[in-house]
Each structure stands twice: as C-alpha cells, then as structure tokens.
Amino acid sequence: MSKADAEDFLEDMVNRKWLIYKDGYYYMGIRSITELMPYFKATYESNLNTCYLCKQILFHGKKCTNCETFFHLYCLKKFTMVCDPMKCPNCNTVISDVDLSGIQDDSTLAEEDTSKVKKSSRKVLRNKN
C-alpha cells in the first residue's frame, strides 16, 4: 500500500465515522466502539472503566484524584450545571483540573470517549511475510 493509499484510507475512515482525527491523533470513532463493544466486553470486562454518572463504558475521560472514580467529559459538563463548584459525586472532592469549555453537552457527540491512537509518522507498513 502506498503512502497516498494509506492516507486516502484513513481519510475515508474518518469521513465514515470509524475513526476520528484530532490534534495529530487518530481515535476510534463511536461507530468502531459500537461495533466492537461485544468484543471489548468479552475480552476486557475486568479492565473496562465505567462512567460514575451515566454507568456506560468509558474509554477516555476524567478520573477523580481522590477516589479514582471515572467520568465522561460530557457527563461532567452536564453535572456542572447542577453542582458548582464541580465536586466528585462519589467523594465530594473538588474537581478543578479539567477544562470543559470545548465539550458539548450532547453525549451523542462522544468524540472524547474514544481510544487514542497516535497518528503514524506516515511510513508505509508492509507485511513481513
């Protein structure tokens, strides 16, 4: 596969919502996560984190530094509407080290809830067989 073909493929995967490209990284898109969820649950059940607020599986979010409770960023954003200052609902520790200004309130835009994969340095990968 040529470099151009690989770039076209990645662009197509982003356009089809299988991947998200943000800040120099490729992330699993919501479509990939949804498709692979049965596999993740069967294979990694004991290693998957759950958002304390919505009880859904979390791939990327915020962890309370005191009690290690996990949250989706968009769930924290919604939670700040009823709790100011923002406190962990599990232990009441103030959560101050998170910027939610760019997070939308709509959980269907779960862009931050993805598995981070560093964008390649644009090298062509070849099968060694």
pLDDT per residue as tens digits for the range 64-102: 888 989 998 888 888 887 877 788 888 988 887 776 766
This prediction's pTM: 0.61
CA-CA-CA-CA torsion for 48, 50, 51, 57, nearest 10 degrees?
A: 70
Mean pLDDT confidence for 16-24:
88
- pLDDT for the residue 76: 86
Distance CA 100, CA 87 (A): 14
Judge whether 29 and 60 are in contact, CB under 8 Å: no
Asked if residue 109 has pLDDT above 50, the reply is no
Q: How is the chain split into domains, by residue range?
A: 3-81
CATH of range 3-81; options 1.10.10, 1.10.3470, 3.40.1440, 1.25.10: 1.10.10
Mean pLDDT confidence for 105-111:
47
First to last CA, the chain: 15
Between the alpha carbon of residue 117 and those of residues 15, 28, 60, 63, 114, the distances in Å are 17, 8, 12, 20, 9
pLDDT per residue as tens digits for the range 31-65: 998 899 899 889 988 888 899 999 988 887 888 88
Q: Mean pLDDT of all residues in the chain?
A: 78
- pLDDT for the residue 19: 93
CA 12, 39, 69 angle in degrees (round to 5)? 100
pLDDT per residue as tens digits for the range 3-15: 999 999 999 999 9
